[in-house]
Amino acid sequence: MDRSTDPLEDLWDKILSRQPEQIRKAFMSLRSDEQQSVLTHIKHMATDPGWHPEQRISAQAAIEALKEWY
Protein backbone atom coordinates (compact mmCIF):
# COMPACT_ATOMS: atom_id res chain seq x y z
CA MET A 1 0.00 0.00 0.00
CA ASP A 2 1.25 3.46 -0.86
CA ARG A 3 2.05 5.43 2.31
CA SER A 4 0.30 8.49 0.94
CA THR A 5 -3.01 6.61 0.88
CA ASP A 6 -2.64 4.84 4.24
CA PRO A 7 -4.81 6.76 6.74
CA LEU A 8 -2.93 5.36 9.74
CA GLU A 9 0.46 6.40 8.35
CA ASP A 10 -0.96 9.81 7.51
CA LEU A 11 -2.31 10.23 11.04
CA TRP A 12 1.03 9.35 12.64
CA ASP A 13 2.91 11.58 10.21
CA LYS A 14 0.74 14.45 11.46
CA ILE A 15 0.91 13.52 15.15
CA LEU A 16 4.71 13.32 14.96
CA SER A 17 5.14 16.32 12.65
CA ARG A 18 6.41 18.71 15.36
CA GLN A 19 3.86 21.23 14.07
CA PRO A 20 1.45 22.00 16.95
CA GLU A 21 -1.49 23.04 14.77
CA GLN A 22 -1.21 19.92 12.59
CA ILE A 23 -0.80 17.73 15.68
CA ARG A 24 -3.92 19.15 17.34
CA LYS A 25 -6.00 18.91 14.15
CA ALA A 26 -5.09 15.24 13.68
CA PHE A 27 -5.70 14.50 17.35
CA MET A 28 -9.11 16.18 17.34
CA SER A 29 -10.19 14.02 14.38
CA LEU A 30 -10.05 10.95 16.64
CA ARG A 31 -12.67 9.46 18.95
CA SER A 32 -11.95 9.90 22.66
CA ASP A 33 -10.78 6.29 23.08
CA GLU A 34 -8.40 6.72 20.14
CA GLN A 35 -7.12 9.98 21.62
CA GLN A 36 -6.32 8.18 24.86
CA SER A 37 -4.44 5.45 22.96
CA VAL A 38 -2.42 8.06 21.06
CA LEU A 39 -1.54 9.92 24.27
CA THR A 40 -0.45 6.70 25.96
CA HIS A 41 1.67 5.73 22.97
CA ILE A 42 3.43 9.07 22.56
CA LYS A 43 4.19 9.16 26.30
CA HIS A 44 5.88 5.76 25.92
CA MET A 45 7.74 6.96 22.83
CA ALA A 46 9.05 9.98 24.71
CA THR A 47 10.21 8.07 27.78
CA ASP A 48 10.80 4.38 27.08
CA PRO A 49 14.18 3.09 25.92
CA GLY A 50 14.55 1.78 22.39
CA TRP A 51 13.08 4.70 20.46
CA HIS A 52 15.26 6.64 18.04
CA PRO A 53 16.21 10.10 19.41
CA GLU A 54 14.30 11.84 16.59
CA GLN A 55 11.18 9.81 17.41
CA ARG A 56 11.53 10.81 21.05
CA ILE A 57 11.78 14.50 20.08
CA SER A 58 8.70 14.22 17.85
CA ALA A 59 6.74 12.46 20.58
CA GLN A 60 7.71 15.13 23.11
CA ALA A 61 6.61 17.85 20.68
CA ALA A 62 3.23 16.10 20.34
CA ILE A 63 2.90 15.88 24.11
CA GLU A 64 3.59 19.59 24.41
CA ALA A 65 1.04 20.41 21.70
CA LEU A 66 -1.59 18.25 23.42
CA LYS A 67 -1.07 19.22 27.07
CA GLU A 68 -4.63 20.45 27.45
CA TRP A 69 -5.98 16.92 26.80
CA TYR A 70 -4.33 15.20 29.77
What percent of the chain has pLDDT above 70?
Answer: 91
The maximal CA–CA distance of the chain, rounded, in angstroms, is: 35
Q: Check pLDDT > 70 for residue 15.
A: yes
Q: Is 70 helix (H, G, I), strand (E, B) or coil?
A: coil
What pLDDT score was predicted for residue 68? 84
Question: What rounded mean pLDDT belongs to the chain?
Answer: 93
* Contact indicator for 53, 43 with CB cutoff of 8 Å: no
pLDDT of residue 4: 58
**Using one digit for the tens of pLDDT, what is the confidence trace for 18-28?**
999 999 999 99
Q: In this predicted model, what pLDDT tens digit does every residue of 40-55 receive, in sequence order?
A: 999 999 999 999 999 9
